[in-house]
Chain A
């Protein structure tokens, strides 16, 4: 159990910057989720914490100790790899046992620990099989069991649920969180799935193109996005981002006209979540572009000028397309971003 600090971590591959100047404090026992689109440097960050990749620059501190020069096998970190990385020649039982053998844990404890770990991921009946005889989901669970079988200082999990079907993913999610709370092991969890991130994380780190966009609790990330990237990445459907112009306390864009704070001026982007839009009103004058009933809610797409605005409407809302429609925005939940995409906060 340990805290982790990343200090100005940089990872370059030749001229390409995989991770740029990353500084992050991860508290002891925290469940931290790295969230970002594919290729944004999540795996690279994780591999640097594990000691499998050397940072080009910066310091990695685990449990108060600078570990840059410490080999992966001496870091006491357990990792679940994106591609499972199960040992093909060993049975699942032997796979899970491998870290116990390597870490010199007394052989008398092995069996009980292996069975407990297998139980946690509901893999008990497959222990005799070779990885090749398991489905993708079973392999992923075996990889999880191999990581949790010992008590490391840090868990690193690289998209451990990406290959499970929706139902199993949900139950595994709960299980992982329960396990982490029980074992009290600092965990860094990588995903590109925002639901996973929101449900699991104590704090979320949103990354894009190798750089941290925002660090915060799921609530903060959702209700207080730092920039247009975070705003557009979180939520499903994500926040509407409308480019327009603000002057004299009014934001305008084709088909859109909303009052805005006086300090918001010039070329800005307005952000509004679909659930903060309401049918009826005159902030948006547009046409119905599409209606998607899903059962508990109906998604409505409104065309304003050339911009499509997503609205979360009542479950029984129905409409023909191309019908003129007015939309009202909740004035308490408007977000404004400047030209560089950064959030414009309170009055100057």
Chain B
């Protein structure tokens, strides 16, 4: 009895050692960022190896004083959050219709919706630019909100639809015989029952929106609409040449929201992604 327990304990140690090493390898670039971000500029660019780095908030001070980071963050949050809200408002009823009502061409419509996801974004870049120029929304977070919403709408619909398909039809039948209207059923039965799917879809959409680059670059031309992703790419540290410690710190700041989102839904993430991918 004692012996197997011991080997189990040993294999547990081994398992943690292997996983820990792997995690360290994966996390190394991020730890590296952090380490660079909190070192003085001189130490970052020296060719000599440094074994005991000096802690410094130089980069942080530079960022806060010279760079409208709060503005960029605000733009990101407004555009991303707004786009997710738009997506949910449109996608939930659409997913419900696609998962429940029998109508002609239902499968085709489902496929059309998904096919918008398959197009290379660059194809529509020029038309989108002129479209927003015409309506006077260039360099505006509202334009970004609409674009992010449009990009993610198909995926959000598809993920929510697949969760709704898993809800037994009897549940709705029961609600109907209990006297509930379609809207009631959607609101009180369906949405709560597929809430994990809705949250997953929202987080995935948020991650994609935060990382969106091409259209943001196209639409945003000043701090009015710059989001973290584009601001980061444009950031070199200002007039004093390339300031690596500041760049590292900005990168890390841009990375944190995504990290938080992924941790929030890690349990559902793989299901959400494979559903979006496979069931198409």
Contacts and interface: CB of A to CB of B under 8 A. Distances in A.
The 10 closest A-B pairs by CB, nearest first: A102-B179, A89-B192, A85-B174, A99-B178, A85-B170, A72-B176, A79-B177, A103-B179, A73-B179, A52-B173
B168 A85 contact: yes
B171 A52 contact: no
Contact of A88 (B175, B180, B181, B193): B193
Interface of B is mostly: helix
B189 interface: yes
A102 B174 contact: no
Contact of A99 (B170, B173, B179, B189): B179
B184 interface: yes
B193 A89 contact: yes
B170 A83 contact: yes
Nearest to B195: A89
Interface string A138-151: 00000000100000
Interface string A88-101: 11100000001100
A80 B18 CA distance: 53
Interface of A: 47, 50-52, 71-73, 75, 77-79, 81-83, 85-90, 98-99, 102-103, 146, 156
A241 B188 CA distance: 54
Contacts of A52: 173, 176-177
Given A47-B173, A52-B173, A88-B193, A102 B168 contact: no
B168 A72 contact: no
A102 B171 contact: no
Given A72-B176, A73-B177, A78-B178, 18 more contacts: A71-B176, A75-B177, A79-B174, A79-B177, A81-B170, A82-B170, A83-B168, A85-B173, A86-B174, A87-B174, A87-B189, A87-B192, A89-B189, A89-B192, A98-B178, A99-B179, A102-B180, A102-B184
Interface residues of B, number: 18
Contacts of B176: 51-52, 71-73
Contacts of B189: 87, 89
A73 B178 CA distance: 6
A83 B181 CA distance: 22
A136 B123 CA distance: 55
Contacts of B175: 87, 98, 102
B177 A77 contact: yes
Contacts of B170: 81-83, 85
Given A83-B168, A102-B184, A103-B179, A72 B173 contact: yes
Contacts of B193: 87-89
Interface in B210-236: none
Contacts of B174: 79, 81, 85-87, 146
Nearest to A47: B173
A298 B184 CA distance: 58
B89 to A, nearest CB: 21
B177 A50 contact: yes
A52 B171 CA distance: 12
B179 to A, nearest CB: 4
6 contacts: A73-B179, A81-B173, A85-B170, A85-B173, A89-B189, A146-B178
Contacts of B181: 73
Nearest to B178: A99
Contacts of A85: 168, 170-171, 173-174
A78 B189 CA distance: 18
A87 B171 CA distance: 7
Contacts of A78: 177-178
A320 to B, nearest CB: 51
Nearest to B174: A85
Most buried by B among A52, A81, A86, A102: A102
Contacts of B188: 87, 98
